[in-house]
Amino acid sequence: MAKQKVRHILGLSGGKDSTALAVLLHQEIPEMEYFFCDTHKELPETYEYLDRIKARLGIKIHYLSENRGFDHWLAIHDGLLPSPQMRWCTVKMKIKPLEDFVGDDEAISYIGIRADENRDGYISTKPNIKPVFPFKEKGLVRADIIRLLEESGIGLPDYYRWRSRSGCFFCFFQRKYEWVMLAQEHPDLFQKAVEYETNHKDGRTYTWTDGETLLELLKRKDEIIAQHEKLMAQEKKAAPKRPLFESLEIILDQQDDELPCLSCHL
Ligand code: SF4
């Protein structure tokens, strides 16, 4: 019997690291299959970025979960919104679609964790899907990723001005400053997130962000922005040559209590 061909897969999240990985590998591995797990709740900037990636690299992207987005799964979970403790969203909308896409085939899954990052992931544990980490193997760090993106003409996603990660617009891993900026950049999406929070019906109060509702948080907008600007000024003083987006990423990363899933935010 002929030996089964090993598939090569790369999940794009709409973030900079997975995109840079596609830039790095698209010529080296022409048979690479690119996929994007669409929650139907991504930022418009993410969909635009994916179009840019396709156009620049001349690749095809498989959009998984095309017919079943967040609202479908929310109904299946009786309206129970996901949280860091109950992360059904990642399992149903990121991990499972990937595993269905691969089936029982042998596959190598290329993952864009950088050499300067100390994290592992919430990734598929199916034995036929073997994760590899090319940036780590090649010792590539944040500056290399930026260079790859600039040289390819793709650049950074537009949301990097105010948010450091891809993912659902209401992601509960979002930091307070990012919520405030969501309200400013996309008031309609912020309003939608407020509606999800308000309509949550399992007999307890649900808040997307720790300790307060989104409307309460928005009342503290000036305070949150002032605190953020103070941290940015300190960062600028400590590293005057560092690009703004990088300072933003560093400051926001310091505010993480828990690391988010890789499948959403690479
Ligand atoms: S981005 Fe956040 S809300 Fe969306 S699937 Fe990932 S963890 Fe869940």
Token pair of 257, please?
A: 């209590």
Q: Residues with Cβ < 8 Å from 85, sequence gap 6 or more?
A: none
Per-residue pLDDT at 203: 66
Token pair of 234, please?
A: 């300190």
Per-residue pLDDT at 251: 86
Ligand 1: does its nearest atom lie under 6 Å from the Cβ of 82?
yes
> Which residue, by CA, sits nearest to atom 4 of ligand 1?
168
- DSSP per-residue codes, 32-77: -EEEEE--S-B-HHHHHHHHHHHHHHT--EEEETSS--HHHHHHHT
Helices (H), 58-200: 70-76, 88-90, 96-102, 134-138, 142-152, 176-185, 187-198
Per-residue pLDDT at 249: 86
The dihedrals phi and psi of 129, each to the nearest 5 degrees, come to -110, 110
> Which residue, by CA, sits nearest to atom 6 of ligand 1?
264
- CA of 244: how far to CAs of 49, 148, 160, 250, in Å? 20, 18, 10, 10
Q: How far is the CA of 263 from the centre of ligand 1 (A)?
A: 9
* CA dist., res. 106 & res. 53, Å (int): 26
> Which residue, by CA, sits nearest to atom 8 of ligand 1?
89
Ligand 1: does its nearest atom lie under 6 Å from the Cβ of 261?
yes
Token pair of 104, please?
A: 């029982």
Q: How far is the CA of 86 from the centre of ligand 1 (A)?
A: 11
Per-residue pLDDT at 261: 60
Atom of ligand 1 at shortest range from CA of 263: 6
The dihedrals phi and psi of 150, each to the nearest 5 degrees, come to -65, -45
Per-residue pLDDT at 175: 92
Per-residue pLDDT at 125: 76
Give average pLDDT by consecutive 10-residue segment, the chain, 266 residues: 84 94 96 96 96 97 88 92 90 91 95 83 78 94 94 95 92 94 98 93 81 95 95 90 85 71 64
Ligand 1: does its nearest atom lie under 6 Å from the Cβ of 95?
no
Per-residue pLDDT at 123: 67
* CA dist., res. 163 & res. 251, Å (int): 11
Domains of the chain: 7-160 (3.40.50.620), 176-259 (no CATH)
At 138 the three-state DSSP class reads: helix
Q: Residues with Cβ < 8 Å from 107, sequence gap 6 or more?
A: 6, 7, 8, 9, 128, 129, 130
* CA dist., res. 19 & res. 206, Å (int): 34
CB of 9 closer than 8 Å to CB of 109: yes
